[in-house]
A = this chain, B = another copy of it.
C-alpha cells in the first residue's frame, strides 16, 4: 500500500505522506476558525498550524510502523500529542513563564491575541487532546477500547506533574541557579523526555508489543530525546534569531541551565553524537520497519534550527 522503506528516498516519501496525514487529521479534529467563539479557534489554529516540524506525531507513526500498531489509532494519538506539545509551547512562552516574543519565526500567541486568550488557547488544546482520545468508533472491540485508555493514561502520565509540567517547574526554579549535570538531565527527562517517551510507548501499547520491542523504543526515545535537547542548547549558544525562528542566546541570558553551560560547547557536541549513535543502535533490530524512526533520530540531531 505504501512505498518501500529500503531506500532513503522511500523513507523520506513515507515521512512526507505521514506529515500530510497529520496536517489533515489535526485540521479535522478542530472546530473551524469561524466557529463560535471565533477568537479562541483563531488562536488555537494560529499556534497549531505555525509551521511546526511535527516531530512528535511523526515519531508516533514511525514507532507504530516499527511495532505494527494500527494506523488510525496511532494517528489519533499523534494528533493528541501535537496538541499537547503546542499547548505547552503557548503556556511556556507566556510573560509569567519564559516571556518569549518569537516562536517558529512568528510572534507568540500572547503577542498576537493577548495573555488571556493565549492561556485559554493552551487550555483548549490540552482539553481537546484528551477529548479526542475519548472519541472511539462505535464498533471498537473491548481490546481496542482498553488499548485506547492505556495510551490515554500514558499521555496523562507524560504531561502531568511527573513529566511535562514538573519539568517546567524545575526549569523555572533552576533559573539563575548553579545546576549540576544530574539536575539538568532530570529537568530534560521530565520537560521533553516524558512526552517523547509517550510518542513511542503509546504505539507499543496500541500494538501490544512485547517487552523487548518496547525496551528498544524506550531506549531510542531516551537517547534521541536527550540528544535533541543537547543540540537545542548548542544551537541556542551558536546560532542567530533568524536561523532559529526564536530568540537566540535567550537561555544563556536568562541564566538557564543548559548543556553548554554545564559541560562546555565541545563536550555538549560530543555528547549529542554519542546519544545519536545510541538511538540508532536501539532501533537497528527493527530493520526496514525501523527505518523511519532511525531517519527521525538522525534529523533530531543533524539540524541547524
Q: Which residues of A contact B (CB under 8 A)?
A: 31, 35-37, 39-41, 44, 87, 91, 94, 96-97, 114-117, 119-120, 122-124, 126-128, 130-136, 140-142, 145-146, 148-150, 152-153, 155-157, 159-162, 165-166, 168-170, 172-173
Q: Give the residues in chain B near A35, CB-CB below 8 Å.
A: 161
Q: Give the residues in chain B near A162, CB-CB below 8 Å.
A: 31, 36
By the criterion CB–CB under 8 Å, are A156 and B142 in contact?
Answer: no
Q: Can you add 18 more A-B contacts, CB < 8 Å, to A39-B169, A96-B114?
A: A36-B166, A37-B169, A97-B116, A116-B172, A120-B165, A120-B168, A123-B165, A124-B161, A127-B160, A127-B165, A128-B160, A130-B130, A130-B134, A131-B152, A133-B134, A134-B156, A140-B146, A148-B149
By the criterion CB–CB under 8 Å, are A152 and B166 in contact?
Answer: no
By the criterion CB–CB under 8 Å, are A39 and B134 in contact?
Answer: no
Tell me which of A116, A128, A145, A173 has the highest count of chain B C-beta atoms within 10 A of its own C-beta. A116
How far, in whole Å, are A209 and B148 apart by their CA atoms in the complex? 25
By the criterion CB–CB under 8 Å, are B130 and A161 in contact?
Answer: no
By the criterion CB–CB under 8 Å, are B169 and A153 in contact?
Answer: no
By the criterion CB–CB under 8 Å, are B131 and A119 in contact?
Answer: no
How far, in whole Å, are A29 and B110 apart by their CA atoms in the complex? 33
Secondary structure of the A side of the interface? helix
Chain B residue with minimal CB distance to A123? Answer: B165
Chain B residue with minimal CB distance to A146? Answer: B145
Number of copies: 2
How far, in whole Å, are A160 and B87 apart by their CA atoms in the complex? 14
- Given the known interface contacts A134-B156, A142-B141, the answer about A37 and B127 at a Cβ–Cβ threshold of 8 Å is no
Chain B residue with minimal CB distance to A87? Answer: B123
Q: What's the minimum C-beta distance from A286 to chain B, rounded to whole angstroms?
A: 28
Q: Give the residues in chain B near A120, CB-CB below 8 Å.
A: 91, 165, 168-169
How far, in whole Å, are A148 and B149 apart by their CA atoms in the complex? 9
Q: What's the minimum C-beta distance from A245 to chain B, rounded to whole angstroms?
A: 24
Q: What's the minimum C-beta distance from A175 to chain B, rounded to whole angstroms?
A: 10
By the criterion CB–CB under 8 Å, are A153 and B131 in contact?
Answer: yes
Query: Which one of B41, B91, B161 contacts A40 once the chains associate, using CB atoms below 8 Å?
Result: B161
Q: Give the residues in chain B near A40, CB-CB below 8 Å.
A: 161, 165-166, 169
Q: Give the residues in chain B near A153, CB-CB below 8 Å.
A: 131, 134-135
By the criterion CB–CB under 8 Å, are B161 and A31 in contact?
Answer: yes
How far, in whole Å, are A189 and B217 apart by their CA atoms in the complex? 46
Chain B residue with minimal CB distance to A129? Answer: B130
Chain B residue with minimal CB distance to A172? Answer: B116
